[in-house]
Chains A and B, each alone.
Chain A
Amino acid sequence: EAGVVQSPRYKIIEKKQPVAFWCNPISGHNTLYWYRQNLGQGPELLIRYENEEAVDDSQLPKDRFSAERLKGVDSTLKIQPAELGDSAVYLCASSLGLAGTYEQYFGPGTRLTVT
């Protein structure tokens, strides 16, 4: 069974440029998460989807970040415009249901460097 797929793996952009990350969850997983992991820190949740619906986006900086999960499968996370402080690893994860009950499977992440 294929795991969570993310692309690109690495991205270097100049500040004020836009950037997008793509995630394909494990087939059949209704719940999809986007996390940001700063250097030396644990992952922090940005947004959680249940199918197409964003059910928790309280930590998403909505002035510059946006996300979508059309058709309840793939998801895209966008930053526009990027700032220096956005440099981090962006992780996507998926699960069958509630994270406490079901295991979350993580993708390899996209390492973003903003110069």
Chain B
Amino acid sequence: AQKVTQAQTEISVVEKEDVTLDCVYETRDTTYYLFWYKQPPSGELVFLIRRNSFDEQNEISGRYSWNFQKSTSSFNFTITASQVVDSAVYFCALFSLNRDDKIIFGKGTRLHILP
């Protein structure tokens, strides 16, 4: 079975602090993709990153970084020096190439950045 678990339902940090959002996934497939999306109050899901299962290199994009570890089936997302504009719900998602073309989303983590 495929599953994405985001154990942190809600996180609050003070502006400028670093924060890590956890994502643990389950799949039996060897070829898969992992995603992070941001959903601000406006409602649209905004694509942040896609990672395929063969590329375990960590990625950094500005204040955002992602740590992919196949050994622990985790794909964690860190925001460095958080800002109020980072307040949103963040979703981790999984897509397996050998399954139906269906992305499985986690339940999301609501992040509050306090000024």
Interface residues of A (CB under 8 A from B): 3, 31, 40-45, 48, 55-56, 58, 89, 91, 93, 98-100, 103-109, 111
Assess the B108–A42 pair: CB atoms within 8 A.
Answer: yes
Assess the A109–B107 pair: CB atoms within 8 A.
Answer: no
Q: Given contacts A42-B105, A56-B101, A56-B102, are A104 and B91 in contact (CB under 8 A)?
A: no
Within 8 A of A (CB), among B74-115: 91, 93, 95-97, 100-103, 105-108
Q: Given contacts A42-B93, A56-B100, A99-B95, are A106 and B44 in contact (CB under 8 A)?
A: yes
- In the bound complex, CA of A29 to CA of B47 (Å): 16
Across-interface contacts of A56 in B (CB, < 8 A): 100-102
Across-interface contacts of B50 in A (CB, < 8 A): 100, 103
Is B43's CB within 8 Å of the partner chain A? yes
Assess the B106–A42 pair: CB atoms within 8 A.
Answer: yes
